[in-house]
Amino acid sequence: MRLLVTGGAGFIGSHFVRRQITGNSSWEKIVVLDALTYAGNLNNLADCQSDPRFEFIHGNILDRPLVESIMSRVDLVVHFAAESHVDRSIANPHQFVETNVLGTHVLLKAALDNSVKTFVHVSTDEVYGSIEAGSWPESDPINPNSPYSASKASSDLLAMSYFRTYGMDVRITRCGNNYGPYQFPEKIIPLFITNLMAGLKIPMYGDGSNIRDWIHVEDHCAGIELVAKKGAAGNIYNIGGGMEITNLELTEMILQKMGKSSDSIEKVTDRKGHDFRYSVDSTKIRTQLGYAPAFDFQSGLSSTISWYQENESWWQPLKSKKD
Predicted local distance difference test score (pLDDT) of residue 268: 84
Angle at 76 between CA 74 and CA 78, to 5 degrees: 120
Long-range contacts of 142-150 (CB under 8 A, 24+ apart): 145/273, 145/275, 146/86, 146/89, 146/90, 146/273, 146/275, 147/89, 147/90, 147/93, 147/96, 147/97, 148/83, 148/84, 148/85, 148/86, 148/88, 148/89, 148/96, 148/100, 149/86, 149/124, 149/275
Residues 173, 178, 181, 183: what is their CA dihedral angle, to the nearest 10 degrees?
Answer: 90
The terminus-to-terminus CA distance of the chain in angstroms comes to: 35
Sheet of 170-175: strand order equals 54-58, 29-34, 2-6, 76-79, 118-124, 170-175, 236-239
Looking at residue 271, its pLDDT comes to: 66
Do residues 54 and 32 make contact, with C-beta atoms less than 8 angstroms apart? yes
Q: Strand 211-216 and strand 244-246: pairing?
A: antiparallel
Of 6, 61, 52, 58, which Cα lies nearest the Cα of 29? Answer: 52
81 contacts 265 by C-beta, under 8 angstroms: no
Yes or no: say if 117 and 169 are a contact pair by the CB < 8 Å rule. Answer: yes
The helix/strand/coil state of 21 is: helix
Q: Which residues are catalytic?
A: 125-126, 148
Sheet holding 177-179, edge to edge: 177-179, 211-216, 244-246
The string of pLDDT tens digits covering residues 88-132 is: 888 888 989 999 999 999 999 999 999 999 999 999 999 998 888
Which residues, at least 6 apart from 281, have a Cβ–Cβ distance to it below 8 Å? 135, 136, 137, 138, 238, 240
- Which among 122, 94, 164, 110 is positioned nearest to 13, based on CA atoms? 122
Report which DSSP code applies to 117.
S
Q: Which amino acid is at 91?
A: A
What SS3 state is found at 300? helix
Residue type, 35: A
Question: pLDDT digit string (tens) for 50-84?
Answer: 999 999 999 999 999 999 999 999 999 999 999 87
In the CATH scheme, what is the homologous superfamily, with its name and number, of domain 2-179+216-239? Answer: NAD(P)-binding Rossmann-like Domain (3.40.50.720)
pLDDT at 273: 65
* Residues 136 and 126 sit within 8 Å (Cβ to Cβ): no
Q: Are strands 170-175 and 202-205 parallel, antiparallel or unpaired?
A: unpaired
Domain boundaries, the chain: 2-179+216-239
129 residue type, one letter: G
10-residue mean pLDDT series, the chain (323 residues) = 97 96 87 93 93 97 98 97 83 90 98 98 94 89 92 97 98 96 93 95 86 94 97 97 91 96 86 77 97 95 98 90 53
